[in-house]
């Protein structure tokens, strides 16, 4: 038995394939960026407000990459879809929060 065969004793069928990791990371970053303005006041303004500009792109990329990951594993019963679905959910929450905030700001500024 060669050393390569000894190292790969589990085989590829034993462990489920993890898909959607990028989607989960992007969705988590988007939701974290939504909360950055809520940081304490002693944190510099650059660190509090700069990530807000990345909420929409990160959220959209999370939804798109999660959709691509789910499409790639269509029909594959051994693949884990949890990360892709969680990334899509987090990206959607971040985008909807950003859109709701923009609509509220426009409404509030119109009533000044």
Confidence at residue 16, expressed as pLDDT on a 0 to 100 scale: 61
In a domain, 3, yes or no: no
Domain of residue 35, residue span:
16-110
In a domain, 100, yes or no: yes
The dihedral built from the CA positions of residue 58, 59, 64 and 70, taken in this order, carries a sign that is: positive
Q: What is the pLDDT of residues 11-32, one digit of tens each?
A: 555 556 678 899 999 999 999 9
**Could you tell me the pLDDT band of residue 75, with boundaries at 50, 70 and 90?**
confident
In a domain, 99, yes or no: yes
In a domain, 6, yes or no: no
In a domain, 80, yes or no: yes
Query: Residue 33, SS3?
Result: helix
**Could you tell me the pLDDT band of residue 3, with boundaries at 50, 70 and 90?**
low
State how many domains the chain has. 1
In a domain, 46, yes or no: yes
In a domain, 11, yes or no: no
Q: Which of 86, 11, 92 is nearest to 56 (CA)?
A: 92
Q: Is the pLDDT of residue 86 over 90?
A: yes
DSSP string, 59-100: HHHHHHHHHHHHHHTTT-TTEE-HHHHHHHHHHHHHHHHHHH
Give CA–CA dist 64/55, Å, rounded: 14
- 93 or 9, higher pLDDT: 93
pTM score? 0.80
């Amino acid at each position: 038995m060669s050393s390569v065969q000894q190292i790969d004793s589990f085989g590829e069928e034993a462990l489920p394939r993890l898909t959607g990791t990028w989607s989960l990371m992007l969705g988590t970053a988007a939701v974290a960026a939504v909360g950055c303005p809520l940081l304490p006041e002693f944190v510099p303004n650059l660190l509090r407000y700069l990530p807000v500009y990345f909420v929409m792109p990160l959220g959209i990329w999370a939804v798109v990459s999660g959709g691509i990951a789910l499409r790639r594993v269509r029909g594959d019963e051994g693949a884990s879809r949890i990360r892709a679905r969680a990334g899509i959910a987090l990206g959607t929450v971040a985008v909807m929060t950003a859109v709701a905030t923009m609509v509220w700001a426009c409404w509030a500024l119109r009533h000044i």
